[in-house]
Structure 1
Amino acid sequence: MTGTMDGSSWKLFLLSCLVVAESSAQDFGQTQFICTSVPKDMDLCTATMQNSGPAEDLKTTVMQLRETVLQQKETIMNQKETIRELTSKLSRCESQSLPAAGPGGRRPGSKNTMGDVSRGTTDTLAQLGQTLQTLKQRLENLEQYSRGNNTVQANSLKDLLQNKIDDMEKQVLSRVNTLEETKPVSRNDTEQRNRVESTLTSLHHRITDLEKGKDTRPTDKFQLTFPLRTNYMYAKAKRSLPEMYSFSVCLWIKSNASPGVGTPFSYAVPGQANELVLIEWGNNPMEILINDKVAKLPFLINDGKWHHLCITWTTRDGMWEAFQDGVMRGNGENLAPYHPIKPEGVLVLGQEQDTLGGGFDATQAYVGELANLNIWNRKLSIAEIYNLATCNSKAPAGNVFSWTESNIEIFGGATKWTFEPCRSLN
């Protein structure tokens, strides 16, 4: 690498080598040596800077490659962190998973009383529903037994069933939470879960009534509470309304929901979801709908106090009257004239129906409390309506739909409480 040079200009030449690292993602560690001569007394860095052409290009290349290496190093570190996180999650999943199924499809050591997580959500919740239905039947047997046998044995059976229900509820909640974490819940699965929750709520209330000795209370002394604006919390009449050429519908209501209290009740028939509806939606006044025809009602009830409402109607000329707290507040005509209320429908409390028995919209749901919903297939007199509003003993009961616990089913978490109308006015 050395040669004979002009002695008057140069005394000693040094060989200076620039090392350029040519690296790639697949090939590291290879190097190429590029050498050039510089005077003895000249600074190597200065010589390099003064070098034109290839030296400057090489320096730029070195800097670019160094930056590339640093970026690749950062990328590798991020990928390692991601791999560690995924590995940790996988380890947790493996540690929580059930053992492999043994002969016959049953997992070793499992009791299989609450269904298998590996099965679909619908299958598991269906099994839970069947189990809770069995408990419900046992509770009904218990109620019949305790009415005829007020003994220590009946109380022991109650305690045993209460403990069983408590355990079942804990397992239901645990299983549902597990299912929600492992896969999205479809609409059908949500409806199944709501039915299970409703059954649990009903069982708890009936057990409480048994423990407090409320079996002998009148079956109409109760109220329904809808604490949230949802599309799944409601109550339903067990039987349809008959064909009616006139009607009177009365109820107690308490709400301060805003905007609008929602839908206290709706009656839908095949082909007409708005056959008979009482609704206060958004900033609109309360309305009565008959065959999808509307009349605005002069009610002012959004004050958080109990109010008694009555609406009467006859198909002839569509005449209607509206009473609040026993006093007529308004009347009108031409509301669905000569259209009889059709039979074979579904009466729902707390929700507005867009389809027969369903199609609920949370924005139209009722929020508050209601009680003593009664329906007659005739127009009540002013005196009869006043007696209802003042809790007079002469007040009639609905001959088409009467407010008794045996006529109503509750769903989705709606609750049932003891209610005395005139004692609850304040």
Structure 2
Amino acid sequence: MKRLLTVVLLTVCAAAPEDLTGKMFSFPQETKTDHVKLITPREEFKAITVCLRSFTDLSRNHGLFSLATPAFANAFLIFKKSASDQIEMNIRNKGISFFGQEYKLNTWQSVCTSWDGANGLVQVWIDGKPSARRYCSDGTITGHALIMLGQEQDSHGGGFDPQQTFVGMTTDVHMWDFVLSPCEIQRFVDDLNFSPGNVINWRALEYQIVGKIILENKQGACSCLIKKKVSNMFGQSCQA
């Protein structure tokens, strides 16, 4: 009974869709348990686009976004390899690597990826810079979708490896069931008036926190930019 109570206390659910504008999830430690589950009733995907912003100092392998189904542990996985310029995408358990990506440490970065099941083409954008479009896997992703931040699923809802844990901050997570246009992706990167995800929407998010993950106000240069004009009027410096 005592053990069961501990698990309940460490699990926090959003009772209803919540607007997380201006918020971020902080993943402060390397573990084999802590994660955020993003909840969607959708069970069929013929195309996917995912966009998010992340901040980390990790130079080892780590997952940024993990979608698993009973048939595919890596149905849609965004995975940062230890090589500074390499992003790996896994679609329907098939992997492909993208090189030449300027993935920087200790700074907020916008990461977007898309997959078209009709032709199997995958593309990655880091801060709006596109990769080549490459073939990975065509078809459809079906079944109960488990979407997680902070851990990379090697099985449906589990198989976590602490050496692949994400440590850092994540915000503005959106997912669409179609391939987003390059112009719309640039609007996300610039934080303009883009169309929010129709599968996962940061402005109306259903989620579950497991472990020591903190939902807090977003940190970064955004608040500084907003105040910059006012600060300059009084000869003051602007600090984030």
TM-score, scaled to structure 1: 0.48
Matched, 1:346 2:146: yes
**Residue aligning to 1:221:** 22
Matched, 1:245 2:46: yes
TM-superposition CA deviations, 1:269-314 (whole Å, max 9, x none): 1132111111124448221100111121343324110011111221
Matched, 1:414 2:227: no
Q: In 1, distance between residues paired with 2:63 and 2:223?
A: 22
Q: What amino acid does structure 2 have at the position aligned with 1:384?
A: E
**Residue aligning to 1:316:** 118
Matched, 1:357 2:157: yes
Q: CA deviation at 1:240?
A: 4.2
Q: In 1, distance between residues paired with 2:57 and 2:140?
A: 33
Q: What amino acid does structure 1 have at the position aligned with 2:147?
A: L
SS of residue paired to 1:273: coil
Q: In 1, distance between residues paired with 2:165 and 2:223?
A: 23
Q: What amino acid does structure 2 have at the position aligned with 1:397?
A: P
TM-superposition CA deviations, 1:248-281 (whole Å, max 9, x none): 1111011111223x11121111132111111124
Provide runs of 4+ in structure 1 moved above 6 Å.
Answer: none
Q: In 2, distance between residues paired with 1:245 and 1:301?
A: 28
Residue from 93, 96, 106 that aligns with 1:295: 96
Matched, 1:401 2:203: no
Map residues 36-55 of structure 1 onto 2, 5 A cutoff: none
Q: In 1, distance between residues paired with 2:97 and 2:152?
A: 17
- 8 Å Cα contact 1:254-1:301 kept in structure 2: no
**Residue aligning to 2:2:** 124
Residue from 361, 378, 382 that aligns with 2:182: 382
Q: What amino acid does structure 2 have at the position aligned with 1:372?
A: D
- Which protein, 1 or 2, shows the higher relative CO under an 8 Å CA cutoff with sep ≥ 6? 2
Number of residue equivalences = 220
Q: Percent identity?
A: 23
**Residue aligning to 2:10:** 197
Query: Residues 349 and 251 of structure 1: is their aligned pair in 2 closer, same or farther, counting only changes over 3 Å?
Result: same
**Residue aligning to 1:392:** 192
TM-score, scaled to structure 2: 0.82
**Residue aligning to 1:270:** 70
Q: In 2, distance between residues paired with 1:313 and 1:290?
A: 8
Query: Residues 334 and 327 of structure 1: is their aligned pair in 2 closer, same or farther, counting only changes over 3 Å?
Result: closer
Q: In 2, distance between residues paired with 1:124 and 1:343?
A: 34
Q: CA deviation at 1:371?
A: 0.8
SS of residue paired to 2:37: strand
Query: Residues 387 and 196 of structure 1: is their aligned pair in 2 closer, same or farther, counting only changes over 3 Å?
Result: same
Q: In 2, distance between residues paired with 1:252 and 1:238?
A: 19
Q: In 2, distance between residues paired with 1:420 and 1:383?
A: 26
**Residue aligning to 1:236:** 37
- Structure 2 unaligned segments of length 5 or more: list them: 225-239
CA RMSD of aligned residues (A): 2.5
* Bigger fraction of residues in helix: 1
Query: Residues 350 and 424 of structure 1: is their aligned pair in 2 closer, same or farther, counting only changes over 3 Å?
Result: farther
